[in-house]
Amino acid sequence: MISGILASPGIAIGKALLIKEKSINIYTYQIPPNHIDKEINKFLDAKKETINQLEKIKNKSKKFFKNKKENIFTSHIMILKDQELEKEIILSIKQQLNTAEHAVNLILSKQINYLNDIQDEYLKNRAIDIQDIRNRILRNLLKINTINLKEIQEKVILIAHDLTPSEIAQMNFKYILGFITELGGYTAHTAIMARSLSIPAIVGVTNILNQIKNNDCIILNAVNNQIIINPKQETINQIKIIQKKEYFKKQNLNKIKHLSPITLDNHKIEISANIGNINDLNYAQKYGAQSIGLYRTEFLFMERTKLPSEDEQFVSYKTIAQKMKNQSVTIRTLDIGGDKKIPYMHFKKEENPFLGWRAIRISLDKKEILYTQLRAILRASQFGRLRILFPMIISIEEIQTLKEEIKQIKQDLNKKRILFDSNIPIGIMIETPSSAIIAEHLIKEVDFFSIGTNDLTQYTLAVDRGNQLVSKLYNPFHPSVLSLIHKVIQISHKNGKWTGMCGELASNELATILLLGMGLDEFSTNPSSILKIKNIIRKVTLYDAKRITQQVLKQKNIYNIMKLIQQFMMLLKHNVTI
């Protein structure tokens, strides 16, 4: 029995088909100076061929994804068309006398390595997109034929080192029962596309290609995170029963998609989605997100080779505002640093990057970046209900400085008669103990709070969430973390403001009752968690949620806290009067 990362829920039973690409070998010899023009032309021809291939794949993807995923390929094409990238590769050929394939591999691998060094799962998975682009252009340079996934003519479970968006888009999905890959994470485009197609998938499975052979019978249990090779008939029969139960559970959840997240005693909650780009928005809407509680704008900066211009940012923010119509969109300003680096910004090495130059500290030091982003957000605010969210705030002085920047930009826009929402709400992330402790003072300066539980847990417990040596100590159900969350929510309500949560805890079903009982106003979750969280909210009363929360907040250790929550959830599952 093997496990990995649950990427797309579901169960599949079928034959294995291993996808193994011919390896790409790059030779690093120097070319004679009189071959420079030849290599440059070879690169430009391969680039053109790659763009043409991606255009065809993009057009084909419209049929299967109903226009929802074509932007993935649009972004790939934009990266290839980037003039700075082209100049860098040509410069490598001219100055270093590299072959076209060596120059392409060198430049794009540098970007991939930067992204792979980042501990943020979403950003790590953007490395896979760059890898897809690099490998495709290298195959065209080296005249290596790509595996034709369109030729699959029987129902199979695909086993691969990785499945890129361009490969997935070429498949005939009536023959694909599921995916298993060695690479990838929950937020990889492979995982996102699998979920949008409702295809079961487990990714990040180490060495799976060496454990499975073609035509092996596979049980892909992407509900309990299990992969079983050549199971006995008895096991297959048991899995088929689970498969049937999961089908009915999913059908029942879909029934509440258009229903409000409201408790049995009529207390209404807002359930929003966390997104990283425009592609994710369609996925969020599919699951009935009421609003966007967190738009991570750093991906606008990460997925390119230079800073996005004001107009480029404006188009992105405007598009999301328009697509959400009268529903709110909370746009978080640039949140990089720590484990999220941008290659072209040349970050200095820091001993403790999580305690160093990151998030709002960068924006306040690089006022031109802050000014450009705030101006783009304000310009886009006339097209929908936008909110501004500032990350990593630890003091009133920071908020006051930021508000003054916004005031000056508004004055400039007014002078130029550019429309914007003059009352655009301003909020801050509560993700450090300092901001939680002085929340009483901070709330008077802003319109709302959004709790980032990932960093709040990390900083409160002094545990690096990316360090496997201490990962067992990282737990958002620790009494100290829960106490800070409760305090922040209570203070915001006392001052007539509201609090949302965009950290991973908001997507955790075991935390739903607790957060509801604490008075959380907005759950901003992973899109695939929306219906599960809504289902729990609709099954309880606020009265009972408050009662169990009061008991939990009195506990001295995590064990007792989890015991109380699990007992409550078990009663809820069996519809027992609580």
Annotated catalytic sites, by residue? 189, 502
Written in H, E and C, the secondary structure of 160-221 is: ECCCCHHHHHCCCHHHEEEEEECCCCCCCHHHHHHHHCCCCEEECCCCHHHCCCCCCEEEEE
CA distance 364 to 391: 12
Name the DSSP letter for residue 291: E
Two structure tokens written together for 158: 């695909």
Measure Cα distances from 182 to 9, 168, 236, 420 in Å: 17, 15, 24, 47
Beta strand 448-451 with 426-430 is: parallel
Residue among 154, 163, 156, 160 at smallest CA distance from 216: 156
CA distance 261 to 542: 12
CA distance 533 to 349: 40
How many residues in the chain?
A: 578
Strands (E), 348-447: 385-390, 426-430
On the 0-12 / 13-18 / 19+ scale of CB atoms within 10 A, 181 is buried
**Rounded CA Rg of the chain:** 25
CA distance 450 to 469: 29
Q: How many CB atoms lie within 10 A of CB 13?
A: 20
Cα–Cα–Cα angle for 507, 199, 18, rounded to 5 degrees? 120
CA distance 500 to 508: 15
* Cβ–Cβ < 8 Å for 137, 104: yes
Sign of CA dihedral 3, 458, 291, 266: positive
CA distance 98 to 270: 55
Find the helix or strand (DSSP H, E) in which 421 lies. none
* Cβ–Cβ < 8 Å for 57, 169: yes
CA distance 523 to 513: 12
* Cβ–Cβ < 8 Å for 289, 273: yes
* Cβ–Cβ < 8 Å for 204, 180: no
Two structure tokens written together for 6: 């649950």
Cα–Cα–Cα angle for 113, 18, 165, rounded to 5 degrees? 50
Residue among 428, 412, 398 at smallest CA distance from 502: 428
Two structure tokens written together for 29: 């010899």
Residue among 132, 116, 131 at smallest CA distance from 169: 132
